[in-house]
Structure 1
Amino acid sequence: MESWITELLVQAVAGAAGGVGAGSVAKDVSMGKPADALTGAVGGGVIGQILASALGAGDVAGMDVGTLVRDLVGGGVGGAVVMALIGALRNAMIKR
């Protein structure tokens, strides 16, 4: 039961790191570090869970290296993408 909680936590932390990293690289869509981290964590958790479902999480007892890599990459990329999308939408709404 706690396997999915651990996976979600890893995805959210990786998403927060991905969001902050993307905000540092793309300053025009950055919303500040706390907002970048928050949107990245949400995006990392959501996209990471979708990726886990798509790739087949399996019912393996414990966490193996492949699962950890999938969660880190999926969460980090998902967090960066969602942060960039939310930042771009925010900028577009401010310019109106």
Structure 2
Amino acid sequence: MNNILITSAGRRVSLVRIFKKELKRFFPDAKLYTTDADPSLSAACFESDGSFKVMKNDEDGYIDELFALAVKLGVKIIIPTIDTGLQTLADHKDKFAEKG
């Protein structure tokens, strides 16, 4: 699958809408998913094809949780929306690269 996962979606409604629109243009069956520490309070999570509650990116177990979710959902691209999330993913890029 060519699914996308946007992390820490929060109030980034425009970002989700734009990525979802363009994703569907190229891959009509693909899905755009979002994560947040509390998806029920995230406006952007309501715009995605599915949202998931995950730990904050500085908590132990975050990478394992995010990795398992990405594999389960067939995610090919993870888009972090905060600097610390980008650094956390960069620190563990090899784990994600091994899975493709």
- TM superposition score normalised by structure 1: 0.28
- Greater C-alpha radius of gyration: 1
Give the number of the structure whose residues are more often helix, by fraction: 1
- TM superposition score normalised by structure 2: 0.27
